[in-house]
Structure 1
Amino acid sequence: MATETQTHRFATQAIHAGAAPDPATGARIQPIYFTNGFVFEDTQQAADIFAMRRTGFSYSRGSNPTVAALERRVAALEGAKAAVAVASGQSAVLMVLMTLMKSGDAYVASSRLFGGSLGLMNRLDGRYDLKPQFTKGLTPADFEAAITPETRAIICESIVNPCATVMDLAGIAAVARRHGLPLVVDSTLASPALIRPIEHGADIVIHSTSKFLGGSGQTIGGVICDAGKFDWAAIPGRYNLMSEPWADYDGLVLTERFPDFAFAAACRVFGMRELGPGLSPMNAFLTLTGIETLPLRMERHCANAKAVAGVLKDHPAVAWVSYPALPGQEGEAMAARYVPQGPGSIFTVALKGGEAAAVKFIMSLKLISHLVNIGEIKSLAIHPATTTHRQLSLADKAIAKVGPETVRLSIGLENAEDLIADVEQALAQLG
């Protein structure tokens, strides 16, 4: 769905964008439309909606009024022309890759990504010949060095999961523009409250709404935002779903019918109608509710994370922490440039005692839950080497800062003093 004109500041948009009082009842909260189908006025309206000649709701796999409100809100927060909400963040990554490319195409991908994204990319390479060209490092020069004539996109995260490295989005976007490629940014760990990648040159932004946007660990969901700036027709045949006629839609050309959000339209027609990863209206409603407090939560997340990371950094049982907001840390300057509020609340900590110490530390935590999600109001811990990033080689785990000695922490909204006390008592158990 296309977003409305932005006229308010971020916190106001987080509360109001995409929704309005219900015209039928006056309800102030966005209604939950629990229906799979919608009655048409006549056969011509039905035909026009299915042929994309007019907008409207037909079947909730493609769109639903509650889901559409979420799409409008996230698009407004990201400064996008349109957004498409899907069943999970993993579905969002899959849909972006399959909409952008066909078998035999390649894309440059950051060597540091969420483990699930890396696993998906390797599987798509082996089964469907969509080829990831992984960078050697994280600088714009590393991304440029990986580009070949087969490259069709560049993909990175804004804040790397789980080591919290902040990427030079403007520099990578400049590389993408020089080569006529769209830049896709997974901004799950930042949320639009910390970084809005489109402002730094991104063309497509992805979120797992299961994390900070929802916030409470209740739902699974994802969203794709289309900046509406990329020229999909500049090179004939390269991005055919956007720039070439769809024979089964009476020759529809999405860049002509929807010039401001052709990519989002392609995700809607191909991704939602044909692949079918629709988002439940209940999950959309809960995510809308979560977004209302996003700015407040992110401020507390960042403050708590910095406090906990600072204590860990100075503890004798700790080898290092990866939080770049701490003085003297690697990536401090990049974090100060892009995320002056703080680089989120997810980071890794390495224990001097190796894997045994990491496991014992996790199992000794009492307030912090041993749980695989991130971005919740509750603080969470996991051992990524054996869970989220288990498919990586030992060398790649070390580079990604998820070796056997590391623990990933997602710091929540509890009192910082209580979190620090829990961390300290768990460290004390290591002897």
Structure 2
Amino acid sequence: MPTITQAAAIPAAADTSEDRLYRKVMLRILPLLLLCYVVAYLDRVNVGFAKLQMLGDLGMSDTVYAIGASVFFWGYFIFEMPSNLLLHRFGARFWIARIMVTWGIVSSSLAFVVPLAELFHVQTTTMFYSLRFLLGLCEAGFFPGVILYMNYWFPARRQSIAMSGFLVAIPLSLTVGGVISGWLMEQTHGMFGMHGWQWMLLLEGIPSVLVAVLVLFALGDGIRSAKWLSNEEKAVLERNLERENSNKSHRVGAALKNPRVWLLTFILLTFNTGFYGLAFWLPSIIRASGVTNTFHIGLLTAIPYLSAIVAMIWNARHSRKTGERRFHAAVPALIGGVGLILSAAFARHVELSIVLLTISTCGILALMPIYWTFPGQILSGPAAAAGIALINSIGNLSGFTGSMITGVAKELTGDINNGTYALGACLLVSCVLIVLIPRSLLNGEAEAAR
């Protein structure tokens, strides 16, 4: 008969064994998902760098750019929920690969907006809007699909670390993308009669098509199809999910009627407005402070995003260690909002403004991996597919609000920084909404973590 000390050691040994198993899972699936999201975000926001040259070359205004940047999210909104339900039906491997191939082709096509407009006998602005809308339609379902895919593998209490490992792709892609985009635009301008922004859009759309091939061969659809797991390991993973899923909503209708789902939707709408406004306009904000060289702008945009990588990982690990979720999301939202407002107030002081933008970016991105553990707390199965897609599709209309707020503010006042004040205010609203999340929503995770 085991002693008290030996009996106490049995759960500890089981926990250590499970920790090793989940590390094995993360090391297998996260690097590929990280790579996918890096190229996804590169294709999503490189239009912010293209703007530095494109508007003058095509005779477009800031308002036209703002509409083009934001119309992406209407396509995203329309097809996101159907896309996530199709992923749940046909499997992650096939559907994610399909998404990546189509968005890569459309993203590269933006380089040829003028000849395409002539081919279809429409205005250049109309073709620009159409391609941005089509890009959103093609990419719809990728992010919520990955969030859903995470719920196929990890119980909620283990998701924050996995989410931070995946979502670190956002600052990583914006860091690398800023430097590469600025460099490409400087070095390729005039090659074969094409502008630098054309080469940048063309070349940065190609990686997503190549990575899609890798997804087809390397990504599995879930635990059952994972040949690199033993039957015993599969049983442990499935048992942990079944135990947690027993108390969640499974029906699609229940997800759409759940007030907590709508609360999470409005939280995403507000903090993502601040984030997308920053992502789309950061190069222009830096240029307005007096920096003119596109490569130097790219280097300066890398500073906030590199710092945010550290903030994301630290916040996720601390949240996992303490078992606390709500304030690990609310406090970063507060920091992000205050940082944006102060960066606008000191916009003419380049060094101080970059420091404040860095602090704000750290706050905005640090809350993301914590926030995306919340939907998995209340939904599973088809309800998770529909609910996560609903949250992300409506919440991502913030791409429209974020880009339009800054564009309209500049158009009306002549100062791009007036829009930054509004973006900061949206993050402060998000902070308040996060605090309103019922404590009971997170009790299960807190108890499991103890």
TM-score bracket relative to the smaller structure? under 0.3
Scaled by the length of structure 1, the TM-score of the pair is 0.27
Higher RCO (CA-CA < 8 Å; seq separation 6+): 2
**Going by fraction, where is strand more abundant, 1 or 2?**
1
**Going by fraction, where is helix more abundant, 1 or 2?**
2
